[in-house]
Amino acid sequence: MTGEPASSSTSAPLIDPFGRSIEYLRVSVTDRCDFRCVYCMSEHMTFLPKHDLLTLEELDRLCSAFVRRGVRKLRITGGEPLVRKNIIWLFNQLGRHLQTGTLDELTLTTNGSQLVKHARDLKAAGVERINLSIDTLVPEKFKAITRWGDLSNVLRGMDAAQDAGLKVKINAVALKGFNEDEIVDLIHFAHGRGADLTLIETMPLGEIEEDRTDQYLPLSVVRARLMDTFTLEDSAHRTGGPARYVTIKETGGRLGFITPLTHNFCESCNRVRLTCTGTLYMCLGQDDAADLRKPLRDSAEDDLIDAAVTEAISRKPKGHDFVIDRRSQKPAVARHMSVTGG
């Protein structure tokens, strides 16, 4: 299916109960990943059966329905999105909205394992920048944190992305006792490669083998430590996501902080998340969700989708309630990050 489905005339912008325009859709195209990062997944994950997943054509149709309602930015996530078979087809399809001017940006978050294969095709589809996850520059530690990953392959992927003309932002989850002594090195590495770096606090999503109370490293502490080495200057730079940026005077590069636990960034949230099964989450940190798969499959027209999306956005909460429970050690939300999309 390459044409547009029959559509209703509904194109009203999506405004939540707090007056925020919904302009950013993050789409998980698969819950599968070729890594098993210890803060994200259990080592022995049970993945969704393939028949539960939306087809690529269905993902295209849903994304296009959101674009028609005013979404200006699409981020493709997983799991690892580039392990989904024929995924470049979806990027090529969604790229048509860039050409018409109805979409400002098409991006993805990746672990980098498949970039050598796909970087040039992503660029050709209209992707201009990517987020690349690298938590450590020590190969043995990288293997330990990802369980299955190979740092050298990821760095080759970064080379391929930059060679293809993609801008790269590196994401690193700050983990107590694991990489807190590497953050200065990560800054020099990223900025030396012309890439921004964003640090992320571990998020309490999904049951894992590790104890998150041992992993949790407040970024307020990290920032205070960095001020002993660098001059941090507040930046007005925004990418549409939750990160707040500073410019490091000594390197000239940008450093972002995503702080779901130490700073609630919800007041300006313009994001919703669509899973690979067609479930729409209005908030990463809440369980309330809407089923878009049924209206998608019940009609060739988009009237039912529009109605379901409108109703869902009317329930978008003001903010999340992330907390790491030190008594029960249970996650704030039971689903894994790989289900919702990073």
CATH code for the domain of 300: 3.20.20.70
Task: Using the Cα atoms of residue 256, residue 129, residue 104 and residue 22 in order, give the sign of their dihedral.
Answer: negative
- Residue that has been written with the tokens 């060679």 in this structure: 163
Q: Which two tokens stand for residue 267?
A: 């007041």
Percent of the chain's residues with pLDDT above 90: 68
Print the domain residue range for 43.
Answer: 24-168+266-340
- Give the side-chain half-sphere CA count within 13 A for 89: 13
Render pLDDT for 80-129 as a digit per residue (tens, 0 to 9). 999 999 999 999 999 999 999 999 999 999 999 999 999 999 999 999 99
The whole-number pLDDT of residue 268 equals 73
Report d(CA 108, CA 128) in Å as an integer.
10
Is the separation of the CB atoms in 246 and 232 below 8 Å?
yes
Report d(CA 223, CA 241) in Å as an integer.
19
Report d(CA 269, CA 316) in Å as an integer.
10
Q: Is residue 255 part of a domain?
A: no
The whole-number pLDDT of residue 333 equals 46
* pLDDT for 325 beyond 90: no
Q: Is residue 238 part of a domain?
A: no
Most confident of 51-55, 163-167, 242-246, 336-340: 163-167
The whole-number pLDDT of residue 324 equals 45
Q: Is residue 45 part of a domain?
A: yes
The whole-number pLDDT of residue 215 equals 77
Q: What share of the chain is helix, strand, coil (3-state, %, to 5)?
A: 30, 20, 50
Q: Is residue 230 part of a domain?
A: no
Q: Is residue 159 part of a domain?
A: yes
CA angle 258, 210, 225 (to 5 degrees): 40
For residue 172, give the nearest of 160, 183, 157, 181 by alpha carbon. 183
| Range of lowest pLDDT (19-33, 179-193, 311-325) | 311-325
Is the separation of the CB atoms in 167 and 206 below 8 Å?
no
Mean residue pLDDT across the chain: 87
Report d(CA 268, CA 288) in Å as an integer.
19
Report d(CA 302, CA 54) in Å as an integer.
16
Report d(CA 76, CA 61) in Å as an integer.
14
Render pLDDT for 50-94 as a digit per residue (tens, 0 to 9). 888 999 999 999 999 999 999 999 999 999 999 999 999 999 999
> What confidence tier does 202 reach under pLDDT thresholds 50, 70, 90?
confident
What does the pLDDT average to over 325-340?
48
* pLDDT for 8 beyond 50: no
Report d(CA 148, CA 36) in Å as an integer.
6
For residue 316, give the nearest of 293, 285, 292 by alpha carbon. 285
- Give burial (CB, 10 Å; 0-12/13-18/19+) of 15: middle
> What confidence tier does 159 reach under pLDDT thresholds 50, 70, 90?
very high
The whole-number pLDDT of residue 254 equals 97
Q: Is residue 253 part of a domain?
A: no
Q: Is residue 64 part of a domain?
A: yes
Task: Count structural domains, the chain.
Answer: 1
* pLDDT for 335 beyond 80: no
Neighbours of 236 (CB within 10 A): 7
Q: For residues 95-133, b (16+ Cβ closer than 10 Å) or e, as one string?
A: bbbbeeeebebbbbbbbbbbbbebbbbbbebbbebbbbb
Q: Amino acid identity, residue 231?
A: T
Backbone φ, ψ for residue 102 (5° rounding): -85, -10
Higher pLDDT, 31 or 326: 31
> What confidence tier does 5 reach under pLDDT thresholds 50, 70, 90?
low
What does the pLDDT average to over 126-148?
95
Is the separation of the CB atoms in 255 and 248 below 8 Å?
yes
- Residue that has been written with the tokens 């869902």 in this structure: 312
Higher pLDDT, 339 or 223: 223
Q: Is residue 39 part of a domain?
A: yes
Strand order in the sheet with 129-133: 232-234, 244-248, 254-258, 196-201, 167-174, 129-133, 105-110, 73-77, 24-28, 271-274, 279-281, 289-291
> What confidence tier does 340 reach under pLDDT thresholds 50, 70, 90?
low
Higher pLDDT, 46 or 265: 46
- Give the side-chain half-sphere CA count within 13 A for 251: 24
